[in-house]
């Protein structure tokens, strides 16, 4: 404990001497972050080992990495002055776009300690899909499933462009798309949607959340765990090719046979409960750590 305290005191002195100027810190905060691809392993992953606190994890990382020489003072100061050493700073000025699964995560965030803050927005609606969002009928035939922003149904790219200071988008579609589209068609539609969004908000950092797995007996149209797995592999490759981040939430919810663990299902179908969204929250924090320390 004494050795740790001495290390922390030494780091504090370094911070006072070598800390970047306010202008430099603002420039760092405005710089685009690198996009990490969380690899698909093809197996269930455990969220138990993921730390609950992002702030504590980052503080330990900075302290231990600096004292053992694995990072230099420049990187130490870069991370510290970026303003990202907190539970939800990485997700400030961000928007989550999606369907009923994202609606569920929004509800979780509103009632639990989470990665969301006052500047975290949600553009999600039950039954929405990438295919519907890019269709010519998005605001007519599909108006009932399109996200609402400022009390108005509009194209998602228009809504995102109107969000104040938005810098990151986390997007999760596929559940409704795969009921009537092949994995290849879905990924093409999602690329089109993301392209339309970034055309209106050019500096937006894009992060694609994997399609979560479903119960083992789900076979709704083309939606099942096999097509979800195929689509997620295509999504991962597409993200890597485009410089987008890929967040592998699905495998942290997975049990036997690539299906969601029953304890995470709210309806023994495709929807999830708060235990599942607690996993979402932890995986998103883990992803933020990987991005911040890359």
Which residues have a Cβ under 8 Å from the Cβ of 56 and sit 6 or more positions away?
Answer: none
Q: How many domains does the chain have?
A: 1
> Crossing angle, helix 73-81 and helix 54-67, to 10 degrees?
160
Secondary structure element (H or E) that encloses residue 121, with its range: strand 120-124
Question: Phi and psi dihedrals of 207, rounded to 5?
Answer: -130, 120
Question: Are the C-beta atoms of residues 115 and 190 closer than 8 Å to each other?
Answer: no
Q: What is the pTM of this model?
A: 0.88
Domain that holds residue 12: 2-293
Apex CA 274: angle with CA 170 and CA 87, to 5°?
55
Q: How many CB atoms lie within 10 A of CB 93?
A: 16
- The arithmetic mean of pLDDT across residues 18-32, rounded, is 39
pLDDT (tens digit per residue) in 129-154:
999 999 999 999 999 999 999 999 99
Query: What CATH code is carried by the domain that includes residue 106?
Result: 3.40.50.1110
Q: By percentage, how much of the chain surpasses pLDDT 90?
A: 84
Nearest CA to 84 among 168, 5, 196? 168
pLDDT (tens digit per residue) in 153-180:
999 999 999 999 999 999 999 999 999 9
pLDDT (tens digit per residue) in 38-94:
999 999 999 998 999 999 999 999 999 999 999 999 999 999 888 898 899 999 999
Question: Are the C-beta atoms of residues 132 and 155 closer than 8 Å to each other?
Answer: no
- The arithmetic mean of pLDDT across residues 184-192, rounded, is 99
Report the pLDDT value the prediction gives residue 151, as an integer from 0 to 100. Answer: 97
- With 90 as the cut, is the pLDDT of residue 31 above it? no
């Amino acid at each position: 404990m004494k050795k740790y305290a001495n290390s922390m005191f030494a780091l504090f002195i370094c911070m006072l001497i070598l800390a970047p100027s306010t202008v430099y810190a603002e420039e760092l905060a405005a710089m685009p972050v690198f996009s990490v691809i969380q690899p698909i392993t093809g197996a269930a992953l455990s969220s138990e080992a993921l730390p609950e606190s992002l702030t504590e994890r980052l503080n330990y990382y900075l302290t231990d990495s600096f004292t053992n020489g694995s990072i230099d003072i420049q990187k130490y100061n870069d991370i510290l002055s970026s303003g990202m050493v907190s539970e939800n700073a990485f997700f400030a000025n961000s928007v989550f776009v999606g369907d009923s699964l994202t609606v569920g995560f929004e509800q979780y965030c509103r009632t639990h300690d989470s990665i969301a803050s006052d500047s975290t927005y949600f553009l999600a609606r039950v039954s929405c899909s990438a295919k519907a969002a890019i269709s010519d009928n998005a605001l007519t035939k599909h108006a009932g499933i399109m996200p609402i922003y400022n009390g108005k149904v509009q194209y998602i790219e228009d809504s995102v462009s109107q969000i104040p200071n938005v810098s990151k988008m986390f997007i999760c579609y596929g559940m409704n798309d795969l009921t009537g589209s092949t994995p290849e068609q879905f990924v093409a539609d999602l690329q089109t949607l993301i392209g339309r969004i970034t055309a209106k908000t050019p500096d937006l950092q894009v992060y694609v959340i994997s399609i979560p797995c479903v119960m083992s007996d789900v076979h709704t149209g083309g939606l099942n765990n096999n097509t979800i797995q195929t689509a997620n592999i295509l999504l991962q490759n597409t993200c890597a090719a485009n410089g987008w981040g890929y967040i592998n939430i699905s495998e942290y919810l997975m049990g036997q046979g690539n299906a969601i663990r029953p304890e995470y299902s709210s309806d023994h179908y495709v929807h999830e409960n708060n235990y599942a969204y607690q996993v979402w929250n932890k995986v998103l924090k883990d992803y933020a750590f990987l991005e911040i320390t890359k």
